Amino acid sequence: MKILVTPRSFAKHDPKPLEMLLEKGFEIVQNPYQRPLVEEEITELIKDVDGVIIGVDPLTRNVLEKAENLKAISKYGVGVDNIDLDYAKERGIKISRTVGANFNAVADFTVCLMLAVARKINVIDRECRRNNWNKIMTMEIYGKTLGVVGTGNIGKGVIKRSKGFDMNILAYDVYPDEKFAKEYGVKYVSLEELYKNADVISLHVPLTEDTYKMIGKRELHMMKKNAILINTARGGLIDEEALYEALKENVIYGAGIDVFEHEPPTNKKLFELDNMVISSHNGASTYEAVDNMGLMAVENLVRDLFS
Protein backbone atom coordinates (compact mmCIF):
# COMPACT_ATOMS: atom_id res chain seq x y z
CA MET A 1 0.00 0.00 0.00
CA LYS A 2 1.07 3.55 -0.70
CA ILE A 3 0.73 6.38 1.84
CA LEU A 4 1.02 10.15 1.38
CA VAL A 5 2.19 12.16 4.41
CA THR A 6 1.85 15.94 4.06
CA PRO A 7 2.53 17.52 7.53
CA ARG A 8 6.03 18.96 7.67
CA SER A 9 6.52 18.16 11.36
CA PHE A 10 5.56 14.49 11.02
CA ALA A 11 8.22 12.30 12.70
CA LYS A 12 10.71 15.18 12.76
CA HIS A 13 11.30 14.92 16.50
CA ASP A 14 10.56 11.24 17.13
CA PRO A 15 10.97 8.83 14.18
CA LYS A 16 8.61 6.25 15.67
CA PRO A 17 5.51 7.22 13.60
CA LEU A 18 7.52 6.81 10.39
CA GLU A 19 9.01 3.54 11.64
CA MET A 20 5.49 2.25 12.36
CA LEU A 21 4.47 2.87 8.75
CA LEU A 22 7.61 1.21 7.40
CA GLU A 23 7.08 -1.81 9.66
CA LYS A 24 3.67 -2.28 8.04
CA GLY A 25 5.32 -2.34 4.63
CA PHE A 26 3.83 0.91 3.38
CA GLU A 27 5.45 2.82 0.53
CA ILE A 28 5.64 6.38 1.84
CA VAL A 29 5.45 9.59 -0.16
CA GLN A 30 6.27 12.72 1.84
CA ASN A 31 5.64 16.40 1.16
CA PRO A 32 8.59 17.52 -1.00
CA TYR A 33 7.94 21.25 -0.64
CA GLN A 34 8.28 21.83 3.14
CA ARG A 35 5.16 24.00 3.15
CA PRO A 36 1.42 23.36 2.85
CA LEU A 37 0.60 21.96 -0.58
CA VAL A 38 -1.64 23.76 -3.04
CA GLU A 39 -4.39 21.91 -4.86
CA GLU A 40 -2.40 21.20 -8.03
CA GLU A 41 0.54 19.77 -6.06
CA ILE A 42 -1.46 17.46 -3.83
CA THR A 43 -3.53 16.27 -6.81
CA GLU A 44 -0.38 14.96 -8.43
CA LEU A 45 0.93 13.30 -5.25
CA ILE A 46 -2.32 11.66 -4.12
CA LYS A 47 -3.56 10.08 -7.33
CA ASP A 48 -2.35 6.53 -6.62
CA VAL A 49 -2.21 6.35 -2.80
CA ASP A 50 -4.30 4.15 -0.50
CA GLY A 51 -4.13 6.40 2.53
CA VAL A 52 -3.13 9.93 3.48
CA ILE A 53 -1.99 11.61 6.68
CA ILE A 54 -3.11 15.17 6.05
CA GLY A 55 -2.34 18.50 7.66
CA VAL A 56 -3.91 21.74 6.43
CA ASP A 57 -3.49 20.90 2.74
CA PRO A 58 -6.69 20.98 0.61
CA LEU A 59 -8.56 17.72 0.09
CA THR A 60 -11.25 19.22 -2.11
CA ARG A 61 -13.60 17.23 -4.31
CA ASN A 62 -11.33 17.96 -7.27
CA VAL A 63 -8.37 16.45 -5.41
CA LEU A 64 -10.28 13.45 -4.07
CA GLU A 65 -11.72 12.63 -7.49
CA LYS A 66 -8.18 12.01 -8.72
CA ALA A 67 -7.38 9.75 -5.72
CA GLU A 68 -9.07 6.66 -7.11
CA ASN A 69 -7.38 4.24 -4.68
CA LEU A 70 -7.92 6.32 -1.54
CA LYS A 71 -9.52 4.40 1.32
CA ALA A 72 -8.60 6.38 4.45
CA ILE A 73 -7.77 9.95 5.49
CA SER A 74 -6.02 10.45 8.82
CA LYS A 75 -6.16 14.08 9.94
CA TYR A 76 -2.99 15.25 11.72
CA GLY A 77 -4.98 17.49 14.06
CA VAL A 78 -8.70 17.96 14.65
CA GLY A 79 -10.00 20.52 12.16
CA VAL A 80 -11.46 18.97 9.01
CA ASP A 81 -12.58 22.11 7.16
CA ASN A 82 -9.90 21.44 4.52
CA ILE A 83 -11.56 18.10 3.61
CA ASP A 84 -14.66 17.67 1.45
CA LEU A 85 -16.43 15.49 3.99
CA ASP A 86 -19.56 14.96 1.91
CA TYR A 87 -17.66 13.64 -1.08
CA ALA A 88 -15.40 11.49 1.11
CA LYS A 89 -18.49 9.96 2.71
CA GLU A 90 -20.03 9.42 -0.73
CA ARG A 91 -16.89 7.54 -1.73
CA GLY A 92 -16.81 5.51 1.51
CA ILE A 93 -13.43 6.97 2.48
CA LYS A 94 -12.82 6.64 6.21
CA ILE A 95 -11.81 9.80 8.08
CA SER A 96 -10.14 10.03 11.50
CA ARG A 97 -8.77 12.84 13.67
CA THR A 98 -6.13 13.03 16.40
CA VAL A 99 -8.56 14.28 19.01
CA GLY A 100 -6.87 15.31 22.26
CA ALA A 101 -3.31 15.00 20.96
CA ASN A 102 -2.49 18.71 20.95
CA PHE A 103 -4.98 20.46 23.22
CA ASN A 104 -2.44 21.23 25.95
CA ALA A 105 -0.07 22.79 23.43
CA VAL A 106 -2.79 24.99 21.91
CA ALA A 107 -4.18 25.99 25.31
CA ASP A 108 -0.67 26.99 26.43
CA PHE A 109 -0.15 29.00 23.25
CA THR A 110 -3.49 30.75 23.63
CA VAL A 111 -2.48 32.07 27.05
CA CYS A 112 0.92 32.97 25.61
CA LEU A 113 -0.78 35.14 22.98
CA MET A 114 -3.01 36.77 25.60
CA LEU A 115 0.05 37.87 27.55
CA ALA A 116 2.05 38.83 24.46
CA VAL A 117 -0.71 41.12 23.19
CA ALA A 118 -1.53 42.61 26.60
CA ARG A 119 2.12 43.37 27.37
CA LYS A 120 3.07 44.30 23.76
CA ILE A 121 5.95 41.85 23.76
CA ASN A 122 6.41 42.17 19.99
CA VAL A 123 6.83 45.95 20.21
CA ILE A 124 9.10 45.85 23.27
CA ASP A 125 11.33 43.21 21.68
CA ARG A 126 11.63 45.16 18.44
CA GLU A 127 12.44 48.44 20.16
CA CYS A 128 15.04 46.85 22.44
CA ARG A 129 16.80 45.46 19.37
CA ARG A 130 16.93 49.06 18.11
CA ASN A 131 18.56 50.05 21.41
CA ASN A 132 15.44 51.96 22.45
CA TRP A 133 15.22 51.39 26.19
CA ASN A 134 12.20 53.66 26.79
CA LYS A 135 9.38 52.17 28.84
CA ILE A 136 6.24 51.09 26.95
CA MET A 137 2.94 51.16 28.80
CA THR A 138 0.89 47.96 28.60
CA MET A 139 -2.08 46.20 30.20
CA GLU A 140 -2.46 43.43 32.80
CA ILE A 141 -4.77 40.45 32.36
CA TYR A 142 -4.84 39.52 36.05
CA GLY A 143 -8.37 39.72 37.45
CA LYS A 144 -9.88 40.62 34.08
CA THR A 145 -12.82 38.90 32.37
CA LEU A 146 -12.11 36.14 29.87
CA GLY A 147 -14.69 35.18 27.26
CA VAL A 148 -14.21 31.70 25.79
CA VAL A 149 -16.13 30.86 22.62
CA GLY A 150 -16.26 27.07 22.49
CA THR A 151 -15.64 24.92 25.54
CA GLY A 152 -14.20 21.77 24.04
CA ASN A 153 -10.86 20.38 25.21
CA ILE A 154 -8.85 23.45 24.22
CA GLY A 155 -11.38 25.97 25.53
CA LYS A 156 -11.51 24.12 28.83
CA GLY A 157 -7.73 24.04 28.95
CA VAL A 158 -7.60 27.81 28.53
CA ILE A 159 -10.19 28.26 31.27
CA LYS A 160 -8.21 26.07 33.67
CA ARG A 161 -5.04 28.06 33.01
CA SER A 162 -6.83 31.39 33.35
CA LYS A 163 -7.88 30.57 36.89
CA GLY A 164 -4.24 31.11 37.85
CA PHE A 165 -4.77 34.74 36.85
CA ASP A 166 -7.96 34.99 38.92
CA MET A 167 -9.92 35.81 35.77
CA ASN A 168 -13.69 35.92 35.69
CA ILE A 169 -14.91 33.48 33.04
CA LEU A 170 -17.72 33.94 30.54
CA ALA A 171 -18.31 31.27 27.93
CA TYR A 172 -20.46 30.41 24.95
CA ASP A 173 -21.09 26.95 23.53
CA VAL A 174 -23.89 25.38 21.53
CA TYR A 175 -23.68 22.48 24.00
CA PRO A 176 -22.81 23.95 27.42
CA ASP A 177 -20.99 21.71 29.91
CA GLU A 178 -22.79 22.73 33.08
CA LYS A 179 -20.82 20.34 35.29
CA PHE A 180 -17.53 21.85 34.15
CA ALA A 181 -18.98 25.35 34.47
CA LYS A 182 -19.95 24.77 38.08
CA GLU A 183 -16.53 23.32 38.95
CA TYR A 184 -14.55 26.20 37.41
CA GLY A 185 -16.91 29.12 38.03
CA VAL A 186 -17.84 29.61 34.38
CA LYS A 187 -20.94 31.55 33.38
CA TYR A 188 -22.47 30.61 30.04
CA VAL A 189 -23.88 33.65 28.23
CA SER A 190 -24.97 34.67 24.73
CA LEU A 191 -22.32 35.63 22.19
CA GLU A 192 -23.46 39.24 22.29
CA GLU A 193 -23.12 39.41 26.06
CA LEU A 194 -19.70 37.80 25.88
CA TYR A 195 -18.45 40.24 23.23
CA LYS A 196 -19.69 43.24 25.22
CA ASN A 197 -18.31 42.21 28.61
CA ALA A 198 -15.09 40.26 28.12
CA ASP A 199 -11.66 41.90 28.31
CA VAL A 200 -10.07 38.95 26.51
CA ILE A 201 -12.03 36.94 23.91
CA SER A 202 -10.64 33.60 22.77
CA LEU A 203 -12.07 31.53 19.91
CA HIS A 204 -12.16 27.73 20.08
CA VAL A 205 -14.79 26.60 17.58
CA PRO A 206 -14.57 24.71 14.27
CA LEU A 207 -14.90 26.50 10.95
CA THR A 208 -18.35 25.83 9.48
CA GLU A 209 -20.88 27.71 7.38
CA ASP A 210 -22.33 29.06 10.63
CA THR A 211 -19.00 30.20 12.12
CA TYR A 212 -17.40 31.61 8.95
CA LYS A 213 -16.54 35.26 9.68
CA MET A 214 -18.48 35.09 12.94
CA ILE A 215 -16.37 38.06 14.06
CA GLY A 216 -16.90 41.00 11.73
CA LYS A 217 -17.23 44.76 11.99
CA ARG A 218 -20.47 44.52 13.99
CA GLU A 219 -19.00 42.17 16.60
CA LEU A 220 -15.71 44.07 16.88
CA HIS A 221 -17.59 47.30 17.58
CA MET A 222 -19.50 45.55 20.38
CA MET A 223 -16.25 44.87 22.21
CA LYS A 224 -14.61 46.99 24.87
CA LYS A 225 -11.97 49.48 23.80
CA ASN A 226 -9.46 47.53 25.91
CA ALA A 227 -10.53 44.13 24.50
CA ILE A 228 -8.02 41.57 23.26
CA LEU A 229 -9.12 39.07 20.60
CA ILE A 230 -7.32 35.72 20.31
CA ASN A 231 -7.76 33.11 17.57
CA THR A 232 -5.89 29.81 17.79
CA ALA A 233 -8.78 27.84 16.27
CA ARG A 234 -9.34 28.32 12.54
CA GLY A 235 -8.68 31.01 9.98
CA GLY A 236 -11.94 32.24 8.53
CA LEU A 237 -13.64 32.76 11.90
CA ILE A 238 -12.65 36.43 11.72
CA ASP A 239 -13.24 38.87 8.89
CA GLU A 240 -9.60 39.91 8.46
CA GLU A 241 -10.36 43.20 6.68
CA ALA A 242 -12.73 44.20 9.51
CA LEU A 243 -10.08 43.19 12.06
CA TYR A 244 -7.45 45.29 10.30
CA GLU A 245 -9.69 48.35 10.35
CA ALA A 246 -10.64 47.81 14.00
CA LEU A 247 -7.01 47.49 15.10
CA LYS A 248 -5.86 50.41 12.96
CA GLU A 249 -8.57 52.63 14.44
CA ASN A 250 -8.02 51.29 18.00
CA VAL A 251 -11.58 50.01 18.24
CA ILE A 252 -10.07 47.23 20.40
CA TYR A 253 -6.74 47.04 22.25
CA GLY A 254 -5.16 44.25 20.24
CA ALA A 255 -5.28 40.76 18.75
CA GLY A 256 -3.25 37.59 18.82
CA ILE A 257 -3.80 35.52 15.66
CA ASP A 258 -2.29 32.10 14.99
CA VAL A 259 -4.55 31.11 12.10
CA PHE A 260 -5.58 32.90 8.92
CA GLU A 261 -8.04 32.25 6.12
CA HIS A 262 -5.08 31.98 3.75
CA GLU A 263 -1.66 31.04 5.08
CA PRO A 264 0.54 33.01 4.72
CA PRO A 265 -2.02 35.85 4.90
CA THR A 266 -2.84 37.54 1.61
CA ASN A 267 -3.70 40.79 3.41
CA LYS A 268 -0.16 42.06 4.02
CA LYS A 269 -1.49 45.18 5.76
CA LEU A 270 -1.91 43.03 8.86
CA PHE A 271 1.88 42.88 9.19
CA GLU A 272 2.03 46.64 9.70
CA LEU A 273 0.01 46.61 12.94
CA ASP A 274 1.84 46.99 16.25
CA ASN A 275 -1.25 45.94 18.24
CA MET A 276 -1.39 42.52 16.62
CA VAL A 277 0.80 39.52 17.41
CA ILE A 278 0.98 37.19 14.41
CA SER A 279 1.91 33.51 14.47
CA SER A 280 2.30 30.93 11.70
CA HIS A 281 -0.33 28.37 12.77
CA ASN A 282 2.11 27.43 15.51
CA GLY A 283 -0.20 26.60 18.42
CA ALA A 284 0.24 22.83 18.21
CA SER A 285 3.96 22.94 17.41
CA THR A 286 5.48 21.45 20.53
CA TYR A 287 7.60 18.32 20.72
CA GLU A 288 4.97 16.66 22.88
CA ALA A 289 2.02 17.51 20.65
CA VAL A 290 3.82 16.58 17.44
CA ASP A 291 4.82 13.21 18.90
CA ASN A 292 1.27 12.56 20.09
CA MET A 293 -0.29 13.57 16.76
CA GLY A 294 2.15 11.48 14.75
CA LEU A 295 1.55 8.31 16.74
CA MET A 296 -2.22 8.78 16.83
CA ALA A 297 -2.43 9.63 13.11
CA VAL A 298 -0.56 6.44 12.19
CA GLU A 299 -2.63 4.29 14.56
CA ASN A 300 -5.84 5.72 13.10
CA LEU A 301 -4.69 5.20 9.52
CA VAL A 302 -3.55 1.61 10.09
CA ARG A 303 -6.84 0.78 11.82
CA ASP A 304 -8.93 2.24 9.03
CA LEU A 305 -6.94 0.63 6.22
CA PHE A 306 -7.05 -2.85 7.73
CA SER A 307 -10.52 -2.88 9.28
What residues are labeled active site?
234, 263, 281
Residues 86, 208: Cα–Cα separation, whole Å: 13
- Quick check: 232 and 259 in contact, CB under 8 A? yes
Question: What residue type is assigned to position 176 of the chain?
Answer: P
CA 151 from chain centre, in angstroms, equals 14
* Residue closest to 156 by CA, chosen among 183, 174, 116, 192: 183
For the chain, what is the total number of helices (H) and then of strands (E)? 12, 12
Beta bridge partners of 149: 172, 203
Beta bridge partners of 28: 3
Nearby residues of 153 by Cβ (< 8 Å), 6 or more positions away: 99, 100, 103
**Residue 150, CA distances (Å) to 159, 182, 185, 270, 291 in order:** 11, 16, 16, 25, 25
